[in-house]
């Protein structure tokens, strides 16, 4: 400080103990955190990807190689690395597959430009270059994608089978690809083609048996609900029954629980008891008059009602899960009623066959040959519970991929072929641009090669040799050449080999990865509020305007 100038007062904006990190070191630290996340996931990519065994604090183990699931199970607290968790979840929700690819791509983009950040290149220039390269990549996907003719049902079904099979090639169930591909395509095709709501595909996990014992029910199946005495006397099989779905409790209720009643004579008390019985009998008789042979309810059906139905050859099930009851209505028709009276034929559903059958160690109620079947149920079998859960996750990815392929009908070659073509195209385009932008776009092109490189590494192949072969092929115009993990050459035309993916998976992955990389590059400061605020809550003066402004902005770490 120069002598003679008045001393400036210190302005305290943040509470004592607040941790602030800023500048280039902060940016490099965020990039390192993202690379650590990607390193965890990298070995799960491709048909020879490995699985992760994750044990939570309660000691429950899960085995999976699904990127979104791994990131959800890992308790990542680094604020920048959480961005990768968000893009993996978004990819999973939007297109179902490509969750590992999107995280690897985002991390590789950051890795390629780390050197430029250290040398002082402005993050804004890098962001601009990334966005331009991403735009070029998406335009190129539209050039190389193959539009499948939906007018030929056989060919279109064959395409859907290829897409499902490609999605499963990196999963635990890859050895049973043909079996599960058929199951997935049939499940998606059974939905309403207008909205393709995948929540109407029910999945039930039944331990025991092998994978091949899994079945697809073209209708609805749910586990036998809690039953009262009398249930065993009910018939367990019907042909063309009328089905009534209720949201009514059919139990004998003592009215003394709801109201205080004063009686002066025994006959008055008897009248109250008779009224209680009269209420439930009226409901049961009204249900019988509808002609329904199968009665389902969200709420309990008590022992009196169960025995009453059994005496009249009617099947009933109470406490049916709401999701299952909704799918029953979708399959058999009719609607859920909240009263037992004024029920017309239009409120009832029907199906070709209803029966209760033994599957594994459980009994299941199964509705088949449904006239309005816009739903189906997958009954998955397998040895260990963790194994069946991973089969369910794998089938979810395949279902989402088939759903997207049905909606769009545009596919690209998988196995790293699309990424290699985009890389060659962006490199060629970058040579025509002067200045730093050329370097940034070349870095983007190089980052795209992480997908085929990682597929090679995970399969134990020489990635440098195979990538050189692929660069030569794509330079010569063979735009569908990708990695072949089985053949001696290591490369093949993946479009001819039927390794197909919906182009939407690629478009979404590139968009999400670019946005995540740009977001992380735009952060140059992290503000962590002191933990003492939560540990020692005491009387405090109201925060000033400056503190309020800082608290209003995004915090460095998510609140626990």
Spell out the domain ranges in the chain.
Answer: 19-147+413-522, 153-212+388-408, 220-258+267-372
What share of the chain has pLDDT > 90, as a percent?
Answer: 27
Give the E-state strand segments of 291-375 in sequence order. Answer: 294-297, 315-317, 336-337, 349-350, 353-359, 362-368
pLDDT, one tens digit per residue, over 286-327 is 999 988 999 999 999 988 899 999 999 999 999 999 989 988
Q: Is the pLDDT of residue 150 over 90?
A: no
Paired tokens of 338: 């909240």
CATH superfamily of 153-212+388-408: TCP-1-like chaperonin intermediate domain (3.30.260.10)
Pick the catalytic residue from 44, 69, 83, 100. 100
Q: Is the pLDDT of residue 18 over 80?
A: no
- Neighbour count for residue 544 (Cβ, 10 Å): 10
Question: pLDDT band for position 554 (50/70/90)?
Answer: very low
* Average confidence (pLDDT) over 114-126: 91
Asked which of 25-34, 160-169, 371-380, 549-558 is least confident by mean pLDDT, the reply is 549-558
pLDDT at 298 (0 to 100): 92
- Of the candidates 164, 29, 174, 150, the one whose C-alpha atom is nearest the C-alpha of residue 501 is 164
pLDDT at 79 (0 to 100): 81
Q: What pTM was estimated for this model as a whole? A: 0.75
Active site residue 257: no
Q: What is the DSSP letter of 7?
A: P
CATH no., domain 220-258+267-372: 3.50.7.10
Pick the catalytic residue from 397, 442, 484, 514. 397
Q: Is 228 helix (H, G, I), strand (E, B) or coil?
A: coil
* Average confidence (pLDDT) over 458-472: 92
- What architecture (CATH level 2) is domain 19-147+413-522? Orthogonal Bundle (1.10)
Same fold? 19-147+413-522, 220-258+267-372: no
Q: Is 374 helix (H, G, I), strand (E, B) or coil?
A: coil
Pick the catalytic residue from 64, 69, 83, 99. 99
pLDDT at 372 (0 to 100): 74
Q: Is the pLDDT of residue 485 over 80?
A: yes
- Neighbour count for residue 507 (Cβ, 10 Å): 20
pLDDT at 426 (0 to 100): 94
The CA-atom distances, in angstroms, between 11 and each of 1, 189, 449, 530 are 17, 66, 50, 19
Structural element, H or E, at residue 52:
strand 52-55
Q: Give me the sign of the Cα torsion angle 20, 24, 29, 33.
A: positive
Are 38 and 100 a contacting pair, CB within 8 Å? Answer: no
Active site residue 491: no
More confident residue, 112 or 531: 112
Q: Is the pLDDT of residue 11 over 70?
A: no
Active site residue 397: yes
pLDDT at 16 (0 to 100): 57
Active site residue 442: no
- Neighbour count for residue 28 (Cβ, 10 Å): 14
Residue entry with tokens 């809550």: 537
Are 237 and 219 a contacting pair, CB within 8 Å? Answer: no
Cα gap 281→275, rounded to integer Å: 10
| Long-range contacts of 64-68, Cβ-Cβ distance < 8 Å, separation of 24 or more | 64/389, 64/390, 64/393, 65/100, 65/170, 65/171, 65/172, 66/92, 66/99, 66/100, 66/171, 66/390, 66/393, 66/394, 66/397, 67/41, 67/92, 67/99, 67/100, 67/101, 67/102, 67/103, 68/92, 68/99
Give the E-state strand segments of 200-249 in sequence order. Answer: 201-207, 215-217, 219-223, 237-239, 242-246
Paired tokens of 145: 């994608």
């Amino acid at each position: 400080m120069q002598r003679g100038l008045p001393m400036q007062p210190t302005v305290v904006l943040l509470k004592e103990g607040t941790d602030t990190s800023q500048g280039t070191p902060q940016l490099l630290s965020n990039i390192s955190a993202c690379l650590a996340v990607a390193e965890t996931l990298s070995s799960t990519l491709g048909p020879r990807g490995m699985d992760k065994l994750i044990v939570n604090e309660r000691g429950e183990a899960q085995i999976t190689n699904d990127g979104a699931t791994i990131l959800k199970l890992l308790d990542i607290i680094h604020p920048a690395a959480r961005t990768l968790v968000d893009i993996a979840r978004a990819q999973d929700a939007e297109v179902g597959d490509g969750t590992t690819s999107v995280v690897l791509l985002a991390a590789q983009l950051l890795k390629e430009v780390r050197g430029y950040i250290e040398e002082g290149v402005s993050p804004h220039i890098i962001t601009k270059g990334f966005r331009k390269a991403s735009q070029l990549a998406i335009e190129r996907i539209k050039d190389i994608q193959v539009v499948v003719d939906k007018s030929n049902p056989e060919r279109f079904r064959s395409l859907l089978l290829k897409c499902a099979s490609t999605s499963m090639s990196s999963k635990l169930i890859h050895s049973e690809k043909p079996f599960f591909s058929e199951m997935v395509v049939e499940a998606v095709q059974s939905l309403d083609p207008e909205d393709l709501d995948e929540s109407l595909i029910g999945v039930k996990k039944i331990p025991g048996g092998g994978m091949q014992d899994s079945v697809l029910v073209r209708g609805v199946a749910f586990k036998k609900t809690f039953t009262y005495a009398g249930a065993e006397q009910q018939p367990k099989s019907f042909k063309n029954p009328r089905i009534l779905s209720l949201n009514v409790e059919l139990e004998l209720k003592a009215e003394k629980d709801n109201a205080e009643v004063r009686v002066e004579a025994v006959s008055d008390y008897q009248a109250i008891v008779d009224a209680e019985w009269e209420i439930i009998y009226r409901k049961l008789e009204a249900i019988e008059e509808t002609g329904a042979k199968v009665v389902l309810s969200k709420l309990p059906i008590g022992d009196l009602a169960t025995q009453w139905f059994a005496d009249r050859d009617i099947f009933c099930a109470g406490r049916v899960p709401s999701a299952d009851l909704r799918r029953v209505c979708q399959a058999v028709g009719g609607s859920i009623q909240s009263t037992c009276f004024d029920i017309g034929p239009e409120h009832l559903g029907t199906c070709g066959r209803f029966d209760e059958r033994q599957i594994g160690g459980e009994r299941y109620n199964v509705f088949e040959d449904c006239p309005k079947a816009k739903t189906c149920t997958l009954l998955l079998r397998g040895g260990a519970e963790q194994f069946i859960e991973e089969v369910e996750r794998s089938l979810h990815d395949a279902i989402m991929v088939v759903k997207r392929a049905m909606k769009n009908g545009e596919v690209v070659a998988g196995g790293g072929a699309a990424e290699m073509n985009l890389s060659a195209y962006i490199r060629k385009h970058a040579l025509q641009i002067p200045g730093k932008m050329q370097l940034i776009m070349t870095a983007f092109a190089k980052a795209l090669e992480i997908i085929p490189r990682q597929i090679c590494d995970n399969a134990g192949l020489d990635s440098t040799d195979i990538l050189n072969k692929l660069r030569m092929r794509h330079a010569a115009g063979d735009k569908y050449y990708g990695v072949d993990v089985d053949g001696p050459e290591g490369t093949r035309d993946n479009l001819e080999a039927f390794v197909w993916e919906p182009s939407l998976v690629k478009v979404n992955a590139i968009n999400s990865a670019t946005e995540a990389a740009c977001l992380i590059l735009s952060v140059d400061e992290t503000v962590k509020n002191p933990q003492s605020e939560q540990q020692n809550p005491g009387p405090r003066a109201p925060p000033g305007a400056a503190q309020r402004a800082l608290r209003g902005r995004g915090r460095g770490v998510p609140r626990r």
